[in-house]
Amino acid sequence: MSTAGRAPLLHPVLRDLPCAALPPPLVTLTLQPGLDVSYEVERLVDDRKLHASRYRFDPGGNGINVARALTRLALPAHACMLVAGEIGSLLRRLVARQVRHVHATRIAGETRINAAVRQLDPAAQYEFIGRGPAPTPAELRGVIEQLLQLGGGGVVALTGSLPDGVAPTLYAELAQQLHARGSRVVLDMQGEALAAAVPRRPFLIKPNRWELEQLCGQALPRIADVRREACALVGAGVANVCVSLGAQGALLASADGVWRGLAPAVAVRSTVGAGDSMLAGLVGALACGAAAPDALRLGLACGSGTAAQPGTELFDPAQLPALLRATRVRRLGAA
């Protein structure tokens, strides 16, 4: 199908890429979301009631962040999530302000609250992570059925931690079922869940360097080591392996070759959501048919754009053209 009729709906940065296709449905899953509450205080003092100079609520969870970032690229994202209780209702409302298609499956209990306290002087950050409810098998089936229905034939991002009581093989099973429905599966998770899902031939995985080291069971101090392991995963059937390297950018390997991307220099304010934003840029561009190096460039621009924003704020889409101009990608060779 030609992109001509619908192209103006896309963000200009995607319109400018030589995209060959309209994006299929882009679906994210968040099994363990949280309400992020952040406080800013001048200085923490023992045994004193402190008044925050600022505080805010944000929806938290990797899949939710990816959907928020895709929406900033004017891509049609669907965010599937488990929500519980009154906190879950608030979370759903906050996500719906930023993502057009929100699919919340209700479960018993209360969605967790995560808190972050930022002390201004001396600068320090404290984070507290809550514990979310454990879904029953029937509740889990509900969200899975919805995901399979929405994600059939589309691009589905499975990301983030699993709630208590859910088997670490769940993402691997979902990857297999989605694959059978013609979906392209994207994985961003760590540990056992990632190791179990990799043999299901996903479309893309995005470990950071540490997650790749865990996956292959060895330290990868040089870029050449990262490249070797990324290529081994491509050889094992993962179509695209993107290893994000924080301020050092990223490396992308696929059957078409290997590319090294250098992140644009930005004044870093908070890297929260940088990995999720990078994934959204990369996946959004690939879903539109962009070539690997162009997709890597957009991923880096989105990731670093988010690192330049405070707190949980994601990249500003208006700054993407300048960020893209400052992002370097070069081909290293064949995979």
Ligand X SMILES: Nc1ncnc2c1ncn2[C@@H]1O[C@H](COP(=O)(O)OP(=O)(O)OP(=O)(O)O)[C@@H](O)[C@H]1O
Any idea which residues carry the catalytic annotation?
276
For residue 313, give both structure tokens: 């704020």
Residues whose CB falls within 8 Å of the CB of residue 283, separated by 6 or more in sequence, listed in order: 26, 66, 70, 155, 157, 186, 204
Euclidean distance between CA atoms 205 and 73, whole angstroms: 20
Q: Which residue minimizes CB distance to ligand X? A: 275
Instruction: Work out how close the CB of 141 gets to ligand X at its nearest, in angstroms, rounded to a whole number.
Output: 28
Is 23 a binder of Mg ion (CB under 5 A)? no
Q: Which stretch binds ligand X (CB under 6 A): 19-27, 137-145, 153-161, 299-307?
A: 299-307
CB of 168 or CB of 246, closer to ligand X: 246
Six token digits for residue 143? 């969200």
Binder of ligand X out of 144, 175, 245, 282 (CB under 6 A): 245
> Considering beta carbons, is residue 88 or 305 the nearer one to ligand X?
305
Member of 160, 202, 275, 305 binding Mg ion (CB under 5 A): 275
Check whether the bond before 122 is cis (ω within 30° of 0): yes
The span from the CA of 185 to the CA of 179, in Å, is 7
Is residue 273 within the footprint of Mg ion (CB under 5 A)?
no
- Render the burial of 81-102: b for 16+ CB within 10 Å, e for the rest: bbbbeebbebbbebbeebbebb
Nearest approach in angstroms of CB 179 to Mg ion is 23
Is 155 or 245 the residue whose CB approaches ligand X more closely? 245
DSSP 198: G
Largest CA distance in the chain: 65
Closest to 150 measured CA to CA, from 24, 243, 45, 316: 24
Contact between 278 and ligand X per CB under 6 A: yes
Task: For residues 306 and 118, give the distance between their C-alpha atoms in angstroms, rounded to a whole number.
Answer: 18
Among residues 27, 276, 297, 312, the one that binds ligand X under rule CB under 6 A: 276
Look-up of token digits 């995005």: 206
Residue 160 touching Mg ion (CB under 5 A): no
Hey, how many other C-beta atoms are within 10 angstroms of the C-beta on 265? Answer: 11
Q: Is there binding between residue 208 and ligand X (CB under 6 A)?
A: yes
Residue 48: count other Cβ atoms within 10 Å of its Cβ. Answer: 8
Residue 82 or 194 having the CB closest to ligand X = 194
Please identify, among the stretches 30-38, 123-131, 135-143, 301-309, the one whose residues bind ligand X according to the rule CB under 6 A: 301-309
Candidates 44, 120, 247, 334: give the one binding ligand X (CB under 6 A). Answer: 247
Residues that bind ligand X (CB under 6 A): 208, 244-247, 249-250, 263, 266, 268, 271, 273-276, 278, 300, 303-304, 307
Residues that bind Mg ion (CB under 5 A): 275
